[in-house]
Chains A and B, each alone.
Chain A
Amino acid sequence: DAKTTQPNSMESNEEEPVHLPCNHSTISGTDYIHWYRQLPSQGPEYVIHGLTSNVNNRMASLAIAEDRKSSTLILHRATLRDAAVYYCILRRIVYNQGGKLIFGQGTELSVKP
């Protein structure tokens, strides 16, 4: 499985934008870039995903480099509720494997008031 590299931790101030980087230099053409986050004492939660083009949804934006070897999750205005571990995952759909997610260590984001 292709690997992702993320910083262990990041800090942000409340109401400021946050850019969470992810490197995935061994990505293959069929890998989708997924982001999940895990709040304390909860299961992971889907944030956003993309293949080649930048993506926006109500939670965040995903900026994907042209060569797809890196991506950045953007939270436009961090709130205290955004404090969580953010996982960048390459999801490969393999027949009869359902597109299982392989989690790394993630980035622990703390948000200061």
Chain B
Amino acid sequence: GAGVSQSPRYKVAKRGQDVALRCDPISGHVSLFWYQQALGQGPEFLTYFQNEAQLDKSGLPSDRFFAERPEGSVSTLKIQRTQQEDSAVYLCASSFRSGGNSGELFFGEGSRLTVL
């Protein structure tokens, strides 16, 4: 597709379940970012990949959160033992360049996670 694709769009999990959220970036994009957006708040940075290398994971809130991008394209954000405070929209973004200032980020529509 032409844009960043995320799946599933909606996910309901029981507290304690593990979830996996998938991101298909735009083909050829080097950089990939994950964000978490709570209701009524701006997106918060979670982690950054340059190709397959995870160069910045400073925003991951706990060791229950894990992200990977093994072949430098598709990425998966995994949340283990979900808690209610994990309920949010998880946004993925990609950009063509790895660090240029004009590397506009293209965002997907997000995966809305609700933890009961």
Where the two chains meet, the residues of A that have a C-beta atom closer than 8 Å to any C-beta of B are: 32, 36, 41-46, 49, 51, 85, 87, 91, 93, 95-106
For A87, A97, A99, which residue has the most chain B Cβ atoms within 10 angstroms? Answer: A99
Do A100 and B101 touch (CB < 8 A)? no
Which of A36, A45, A98 is within 8 Å of B99, CB to CB? A98
Do A97 and B56 touch (CB < 8 A)? yes
Nearest A residue to B56 via CB reads A97
**Given A42-B109, A46-B104, A95-B99, residue A100 in contact with residue B56 (CB < 8 A):** yes
Which of A42, A45, A97 is within 8 Å of B55, CB to CB? A97
Nearest B residue to A44 via CB reads B107
Inter-chain CA distance A101–B103, complex, in Å, is 11
Do A100 and B45 touch (CB < 8 A)? yes
Chain B residues, Cβ within 8 Å of A36: 105
